Amino acid sequence: MFHLLINKCMKKNRMNLAIWQGKVPQNLFRKMRLTLFFSFIMLLQVGAMNVSIAQKRVTLSLKDVMLKDFFAELRQQTGDIIVFSNTEINTTQRVSVDTKNELITDILDRVLKNLDLGYKVVEGYIVVFKHVPQKQAKSVSGLVTDKNKESLPGVTVLVKGSSIGVVTDIDGRYRLVLPEQKDIFLVFSFVGMKTQEVKYTGQDSINVVLEEDVEALNEVVVTGIFRRNKELATGASTTITSKELKQIGNQNILQSLRTLDPSFKIVESKLNGSNPNVLPEVELRGANGITDLDANYKGNPNQPLFILDGFETTLQRVIDMDPNRVESITILKDASAAALYGSRSANGVIVIETKAPEMGRLQVTYTGDYAVVIPDLSDYDLLNAREKLELQLEAGHFEATNSATYNSLQDYYNRLRKNVEEGVDTYWLSKPVQTGFEHRHNIRLEGGDKVLRYSMNLTARFAPGVMKESGRTNYEGGMFLSYRLSNLIFKNDLQLTYNLAKNSPYGEFYQYTQTNPYQKPYDENGKLIKIFDQQAPSYFEEYNRNPLYDADLNITDQEDYLNFVNNFSIEWNISELFTLMGRFSITRQTGETNYFLPAQHSKFSKMGDPVSDPEEYMRRGEFKWNTDKSFSVLGDINLRYGQSFGKHSIYAVGGFNISQTTIDGREIKAEGFPSQNMNDIGFAKQYYKDSRPTSTYNISRLAGVLITANYAYDNKYLFDASLKYDGSSNFGSNQRYAPVWSVGLGWNIHREKFMEKAIAITQLKLRASYGVTASQSFSPYQAMRKYQYDIERQYAGIIPATMKGLGNDDLKWQQTKVTNLGVDFSAFQDRLSMSVDVYKRNTTNLLADVTIAPSLGFLSYTENVGETENKGAEVSMRYMILRDTHKNIFWSVNLSGANNSNKITKISNAMKKRNDDVKQKAYEENTTTPLLLYEEGNSVTSIYAVRSLGIDPSNGKEMFLTKTGVKTYTWNTNDQVKVGDTRPDLEGVLGTSITWKNLYFSANFRYMFGGQTYNSTLVDRVENANLYQNVDRRVYENRWREAGDESFFKDIKSTDKTKQSSRFVQDENVLSCESISIGYDIMAPKILNAIGADRIKITGYLNDAFRFSSVKQERGLNYPFARRFAFSLNISF
């Protein structure tokens, strides 16, 4: 028997009702049919009854009354019956209610919830019941934002200690079902942000604000196509933040990059020094290709690819861009990391990401970079006036057998001697140089909200060089807009750059190193002297001209360009799993070069005579005008997929890219400018003799498809794979396409259970990758047959064309097979961190211009000529000596090192023939510098010379070894062999940094040892020195003078010209100070409030402070090296 008690709260009268259960009488069926009919009619009214109860309002003022009294009051005001069970509900519980004109349902919700009771409205009755405990899954939801209150999609939310987790949606929201366990902690993590842990205490929602982690950017791989957590990547890469770049220097980003990563190398130019208008030669992990002095490539075949905000850019633009715009730089080194860029990735990829605008109120930031640039002349040690005159006297320059000539020479000597005795000792090295003051000013405006964000930047840079009147001026302006519409994000970045480069009218610096110090640049009236001595003997005529005179003429030597770039992208977050991105970029650049020398320039001093040869004389003076235009269009579409479920994490990208670049150039060379004031090409007498205007037009196209996938299991076991299939117009019609692919494996050992006891180790990761990359940084028409119209040979109105370039339909892509093994390690709470990589790169189908017989009608054609092998190792290590977060003091040391060896494993017969031709040409031209030769088994940086046994003490002659090992006094060009290699065995940086509160200090020193160099100074300025010019002081030292002398140099009176000899190959070990910086953040409120600033930071730099080398030789012969003392000021409002 089941009993239900119904209490009618009417004047405390109780009525007990019981439902009888048993056998049903027959006459009851008729009654039931009638009841069912009327019940159906009544059901139509129940909804109305329930609604009427829900709409009733009451006013109560009850304080500490029993629950049954509360029910009675409700019944009295509403007339509604409240039904409950006496056995389950304790009606003596106390409640308090104070409300006015409130819905009865709201009152019941509030009161009964606190008593663990519930209610339902059933057929006009309010039925009260007790909650039955049920086990139901707990869940939590919330919103994740950044400090600017902008939602963060893609944030990982994990239950600590488990694989249960979700990823925030496009609006930054999440909902997570929690497991049945005690002490639940939620872990919020996102690339570039500090990870947060929040304890779950039963709350329904948890909202989190993530803070940016500058150091965490080092743990993010930015590929230019997508971002990845470095812990889950298998490729070799390095990420450098803007903060790290600015700690090194404020000159340009490449100078800072070479200090921060050992694999990135700027090849030092001993000729061009610190010339701001000469692009440096850069390499990443050595040289894959070969270069030829006669080659006409679009660029350096060993130069890495530069990507700026997802789009390819030029080395020139990277050099000229403002470092203050950079957010981070990622170096992609191996195939697994760089294969995304297909045929452009063989030399590695440098991915530059600029700063995105911060959300919030309008913020204005001013950055001023200032530098004092001082010429470094410490590598020169020349004779003074007295020493130089005595040297020439000893060499017999003032002696002659003819009496008239002898008297003329003696008179000249006496005049020079008089200058010396009067104190003339001109330091010519100081005449063309200056101390430059470089300054750059940048203003940035940024702001916005969740929907629209914007930024504007304006930069002006004035960089005078250390050669007078040389320098570089840059103006840069841009605007960035980002607009979010639902799940679409539109971005547009427009940048406009103008650059003006001026070369010094003072000519090349070596002229001043050769000018004799006993000569005076000015006469007694302070007027510039053109000819030092009008009565000088003919022997001295060539060395009697003042190099400063040319600089005083009206000379023009400058080039400028205007660059326009617009990058547009649209990102569609289709769902939590899929994102579609399309990008489009256009680049337009126009440039102009003007080079003018008047007839009075020394270059034309021997050109004709106004009387005897007036026609040749009127050709004096020249003007070269060149203009070029380039236009590039790039576009790509990528579909990204990312999902984490259980212990699995999958990320994949599929896409398509296409690009086209056209280059259009014009050049005119004219001559005949009798006056220096006639400095316009319109004043020319004629075109260059036997020449006419020329033009060039190049167009190159590239298209490719990409598929890449990354998989991680339990964040322990990693697998990456990429496939890029490119087609390029630069190669033969039979070899247009090339597949580029890579695979990578990784193992996060520190996440294994057996590593739990190794608490000192925070990271131990193994990486391995293999892939095939390609290079296409070559001339667009290298594989095509080229023709030239011959206007002078037209016949019957038909203009013939002659072949000027031999095509090669089978010209293949230069491909590189890359193997990389790496280890990432950190310990002692990340006090110690280290990364080690070893690699091997085999390049096949090397491209080079091959010389052929001129009788064929053209000089060369492009061919696949051989194979090379690069292998090496890199180590980067940092140790935190002191880390006191309470006192805010940190001290760390860092050490990096890189070794790279190169070997040519195969060359073609055509390349062997090229080597023989180079040797023969050098012999005929009496060349003294080492030749650029390529031989199997040797490196592309090998030094070739004839092996020397030194100076024979008996006769002062140099003794050589032939290729077969036979001693001889005869130098033979065919006996040249490898005698050294310019690439060092080890090169790297040792540095330290200290932070104490708001003060920062760092110092970095570069070391290099194990390589060799050919000391041309000892050859050209000592042994082969032209004693009519000033020379190196060592010209006196260790000379052979008589039989029995053991010496390094030949007799000073010897007229035999020394050629390539191993005697001048020296081991080069270098220690230099690349950067010292000290900075301070001004945080004092009084100072900041006084000028209305949010932040002020000042930094001082000293770059290239000193350099110690085991080899003493003259550097910067065309343009001197320099030291920089710089200062940076950053103010935000």
Looking at residue 204, which CATH number applies to its domain?
A: 2.60.40.1120
- Residue for token pair 């409640």: 95
Whether residues 168 and 116 fall in one domain? no
768, part of any domain? no
803, part of any domain? no
User: Which pLDDT band, with edges at 50, 70 and 90, does 696 fall under?
Assistant: confident
CA–CA distance, 1073 with 155 (Å, rounded to integer):
43
User: Which pLDDT band, with edges at 50, 70 and 90, does 858 fall under?
Assistant: low
Q: Is residue 462 pLDDT above 90, yes or no?
A: yes
Q: Is residue 1107 pLDDT above 80, yes or no?
A: yes
How large is the average pLDDT for residues 895-908? 91
Least confident stretch, 148-152, 204-208, 778-782: 778-782
Neighbours of 1072 (CB within 10 A): 16
Domain count for the chain: 2
Q: Is residue 805 pLDDT above 60, yes or no?
A: yes
Q: Could you say which of 213, 246, 264 is where a domain stops?
A: 213
192, part of any domain? yes
Whether residues 34 and 126 fall in one domain? yes
Whether residues 126 and 143 fall in one domain? no
Q: What pLDDT, on a 0 to 100 scale, did the predictor assign at position 550? A: 92
User: Which pLDDT band, with edges at 50, 70 and 90, does 15 fall under?
Assistant: very low
Tokens encoding 73: 């009051």
Query: What Cα–Cα distance (Å) separates residue 258 from each residue in 253, 466, 834, 1057, 1108?
Result: 9, 22, 18, 39, 19
Least confident stretch, 385-389, 545-549, 766-770, 827-831: 827-831
Q: Is residue 222 pLDDT above 70, yes or no?
A: no
CA dihedral (864, 865, 867, 870) positive or negative: negative
Q: How many DSSP H helices and E strands does the chain contain? A: 15, 53
Q: What pLDDT, on a 0 to 100 scale, did the predictor assign at position 298? A: 45
184, part of any domain? yes
Scored b (16 or more CB within 10 A) or e, 424-435 reads: eebebbebbbbe
Least confident stretch, 32-36, 671-675, 756-760, 799-803: 32-36
Whether residues 42 and 61 fall in one domain? yes
175, part of any domain? yes
Q: What pLDDT, on a 0 to 100 scale, did the predictor assign at position 782? A: 64
Q: What pLDDT, on a 0 to 100 scale, did the predictor assign at position 295? A: 40
Least confident stretch, 118-122, 554-558, 599-603, 1113-1117: 118-122
8 Å CB contact between 545 and 511? no
CA dihedral (63, 67, 72, 78) positive or negative: positive
Least confident stretch, 176-190, 399-413, 514-528: 176-190
How large is the average pLDDT for residues 1121-1131? 92
Q: Which among 241, 281, 280 is positioned nearest to 261, based on CA atoms?
A: 241
Residues 109-140 have pLDDT tens digits of 888 877 878 887 766 678 787 765 555 567 88
How large is the average pLDDT for residues 34-47? 40
User: Which pLDDT band, with edges at 50, 70 and 90, does 191 fall under?
Assistant: low
The domain that contains 55 carries what CATH number?
3.55.50.30
Whether residues 185 and 145 fall in one domain? yes
Residues 238-262 have pLDDT tens digits of 888 888 888 898 888 898 999 998 8
Residues 591-643 have pLDDT tens digits of 999 999 999 998 898 888 888 898 999 999 999 999 999 999 999 999 999 88
Q: Is residue 98 pLDDT above 90, yes or no?
A: no
CA-based R_g, the chain, Å: 41
Q: Could you say which of 213, 238, 273 is where a domain stops?
A: 213
Q: What pLDDT, on a 0 to 100 scale, did the predictor assign at position 855? A: 52
Q: Could you say which of 197, 213, 229 is where a domain stops?
A: 213
Beta bridge partners of 669: 624
CA atoms within a 13 Å half-sphere pointing along the CA-CB vector of 1027: 20
Whether residues 66 and 99 fall in one domain? yes
How large is the average pLDDT for residues 779-783? 64
Q: What pLDDT, on a 0 to 100 scale, did the predictor assign at position 236? A: 86
Find the helix or strand (DSSP H, E) in which 919 lies.
Answer: helix 909-924
Whether residues 81 and 104 fall in one domain? yes
Q: What pLDDT, on a 0 to 100 scale, did the predictor assign at position 867? A: 86
329, part of any domain? no
User: Which pLDDT band, with edges at 50, 70 and 90, does 291 fall under?
Assistant: low
User: Which pLDDT band, with edges at 50, 70 and 90, does 41 fall under?
Assistant: very low
Q: What pLDDT, on a 0 to 100 scale, did the predictor assign at position 21? A: 32
Whether residues 143 and 195 fall in one domain? yes
300, part of any domain? no
8 Å CB contact between 262 and 874? yes
Whether residues 173 and 126 fall in one domain? no
Q: What pLDDT, on a 0 to 100 scale, did the predictor assign at position 918? A: 85
Q: What pLDDT, on a 0 to 100 scale, did the predictor assign at position 479? A: 95
Q: What pLDDT, on a 0 to 100 scale, did the predictor assign at position 654? A: 93
Most confident among 563-567, 610-614, 852-856 (mean pLDDT): 563-567
Whether residues 64 and 115 fall in one domain? yes
33, part of any domain? yes
How large is the average pLDDT for residues 350-379? 90
Whether residues 83 and 120 fall in one domain? yes
User: Which pLDDT band, with edges at 50, 70 and 90, does 234 fall under?
Assistant: confident
Whether residues 162 and 98 fall in one domain? no
Q: Is residue 980 pLDDT above 90, yes or no?
A: yes
Q: What percent of the chain has pLDDT over 70?
A: 88
Find the helix or strand (DSSP H, E) in which 476 lies.
Answer: strand 471-485
Q: Which domain holds residue 47?
A: 28-130
How large is the average pLDDT for residues 63-70? 83
Residues 155-165 have pLDDT tens digits of 888 888 766 77
How does the average pLDDT of the chain come out, rounded?
84
Least confident stretch, 447-451, 889-893, 1111-1115: 447-451
Most confident among 35-44, 64-73, 366-375, 602-611 (mean pLDDT): 366-375
Least confident stretch, 123-127, 565-569, 1102-1106: 123-127
Least confident stretch, 21-35, 62-76, 106-120, 554-568: 21-35
Q: What pLDDT, on a 0 to 100 scale, did the predictor assign at position 136? A: 53
Angle formed by the axes of helices 28-54 and 104-114, nearest 10°: 90
How large is the average pLDDT for residues 99-107? 82
- Torsions phi, psi for 510 (to 5 deg): -65, -25
Q: For residue 1072, which amino acid is it?
A: S
815 vs 952, higher pLDDT: 952
Q: Where are the beta strands (DSSP E) in 506-551?
A: none
How long a stretch of residues is the chain?
A: 1133
CA–CA distance, 458 with 440 (Å, rounded to integer):
11
Residues 1049-1082 have pLDDT tens digits of 988 778 788 999 999 999 999 999 999 999 998 8
